[in-house]
Structure 1
Amino acid sequence: MPPLTIAIIGAGPGGLLLARLLLRSPPPISVSIFEAEASATTRSQGSTLDLRPGGGLKAMREAGLWDEFCAHARWSGEALKVVDKKLVTWLSRSGGSQTEPREWGAAPEIDRRVLRDVLLGSVGEGVVRWEKKVASVEVDDGTGKGVVRFVDGGEEGGFDLVVGADGCWSKVRAAVSEVKPVYSGVGGFSFSISDCERRAPEVWKLVDGGSVFGYSDSKGLNGQVLGDGSVSVSAWGVRGEDWMRERGYDVYDLEQAREGTKKEYVGWAKELTNMLDAVDDDVVPRSLYMLPVDFAWEHKRGVTLLGDAAHVMTPFAGIGVNMALQDAMELAHAIIDAAKETGKSVGKDVLDEQMRKYEKELFPRMHAAQEITDGAMKDMYFTEGAPRTSIHRWCSTVAGHDMHPLVRPVFTAALYTYFFIFRMFV
């Protein structure tokens, strides 16, 4: 029997990890990744990601990339402060240690660009086909083989499976569902402070090697340290979907975006607004979209999804990349199991059976993650008086979701009691 042929659309972390795992499979599997970008350096790869035990950290070990990950990871990046606009600290966590990692809640940071480079280097030359922007995906009803059509008019076919790992506006998703992402109600800017320790030492001290999240008045102002010594600054707020056109200034101009954003944070502690004063690079305006929390698709032979293509959500619980990497692991297991059985089970479509199983197990897991993320967003951006009025619920949602079911009620009760008492003194 010829090897299974797999087309992966999108060279993000989820798509690259899936390719890495399939290429390491004992049964030979043919893998091609089609990526719309011209190269790995075409655009900024965003901020920093925290990898967690059941998702990203497990994925690095399974992919044989643990040592490379550790060479770039920052356990000190686990440091976290959640504050309000007056700089009252509602939650504080110290940085971690690689030699003595936390028994629970480990979440070392790695720059998204670096993680992608590690994964990209692991799949070898020629696997990623650059400048292959997908227009549509179809499955031939007669052969069951997938066909990928590109915007330049070309096409490639004969795939046993086409995997959509192509993000929020997935073209592959359109092959299995008409549902599109909806606006979350939150938008804003991402900025950067280069050489932060030298240029803005007061900001460097505030973020303390990790992250600071400031919330008040349906807005957020956040800073996160990156591996190159810069600090990523994001300013989010509740606003209409047409907010970019309604700003009255050029949202792509750094100076105009910075000055316009500073006006929205009048009355916030100077320690926080110092971040906006110091930004000097990389302004990116963004409106945040999400799939409905109960989204699922009817199974279709020859096509499936992972990561944001399957369950795009806002970044406010920090679990998106971990979900994508876990999806990739589970999908790789299913494809490899099918490859082992193909040819042994005459008259059975083993791959299709494995895809049905993958999707059946994926849906409840992704719905839980979507609910957690949606809850975290509502707690801080759509709850009056946040974080004072919602920090207990936010902590329970974000920190407690991966606890053992018997432990979480005790943890939640302790949290609620602690914050009930804490609020009496602040």
Structure 2
Amino acid sequence: MSVAGKRILLGVTGSISAYKSALLIRLLIKAGADVQVIMTESAKAFITPLTLATLSKRPVLSTFVADDSGRWNNHVDLGLWADALIVAPASAHTLARCATGLCDDLLSAVYLSARCPVFFAPAMDVDMYQHPSTVENLRRIKSFGNYIIQAEHGELASGLIGEGRLAEPDTIMNVLNLFFKKNVMPETEIRSRKDTFAGKQVLITAGPTQEPIDPVRYISNHSTGKMGYAIANAFAKAGASVTLVSGPTALQLPDPSIERIDVRSAQEMFNATERAFPDADVVILNAAVADYTPAHPADQKIKKNESTFALELVKTIDIAATLGRQKRAGQLLMGFALETNNERDNALKKLHQKNLDWIVLNSLRDAGAGFGHDTNKITVIDRKEKTYEFTLKSKEEVAQDLVNLIADTLEFEKKPSL
């Protein structure tokens, strides 16, 4: 099943991206859907009702009263008629009304009356999208059983770069087709870019390393590997051939196509990564590799005989810096920086000293980010120090953001200059 034969209510609200609603209507009509457009008054400043009525082959509705005869647009009937209601673009104002149940126009009344699945595709500037009130409104809307088609990352009408762009009409169509086909809408599938990385080799490191003190003890950290595994899975879904060099973790690979190489120490991780590095097109160094290792690990268990115990440590090999020196033209090398203070300065230092193309910054001062969580909050910085800010999300969503960001970059680099 798909949208063919489905009755779709399309809510269009006041956003510069309202022009994309015309493209979405064309795709829906071409796919065989029956489309009824409902516009807010503010939306009419961005696109005319005549345009959307012509494309949808139905008069556009925007008020309760249709004309002077007293005929009215029955919001209850509309809510019962539809197989799905999608609000695209969904402005911050409309999100706030729907999150709190305010009902002062036809669209919000239809939303409160709808018994069908409801999809919201937000569109606004990056600061508005990341504002705590918008984040909370989206959380509330989702908690009511509605679906959120996340805003995409890119250049916005203000000139800023970040999250807030309305999802492309093709993406929204894929969401609807997936929903009607499976009656589910897993967020990691919504934004997947199938076959984007077909033919590409992607190398990822994940998890902690363990540096042996003796046969039963080791030095390690709190990394679980969740972020690296999510990245590997996202790239595999996007069509890449993925090699995952993994430190010790209890995680299982969800995608059997991924080649997993298990290692323990920092030296073993370096050896495995260096072997796979020459063939890789994209390399993402997510593993939490130990900076130091015991100089003289004991062959037998060390007994607790003395009141104090001194352990001599030596530096491990710097995997990122070594690969940065070996990097060939066309390879993309991304590193991670988990910081607790002077976060941006430390991340920029790592970016430039190790010859990386991207650095992904985590701060342990951000609630829900870093080791052990199912969520993460990242800032991505490129070689020119252009910065991309992302909100707190599940690690699966963060992984998809990285796939999208890298895919957009590669697509941009392929375009001929004017």
User: TM above 0.5, one fold?
Assistant: no
Normalised by the length of structure 1, the TM-score is 0.28
Higher relative CO (Cα under 8 Å, sequence separation at least 6) belongs to 1
TM-score under structure 2 length normalisation? 0.28
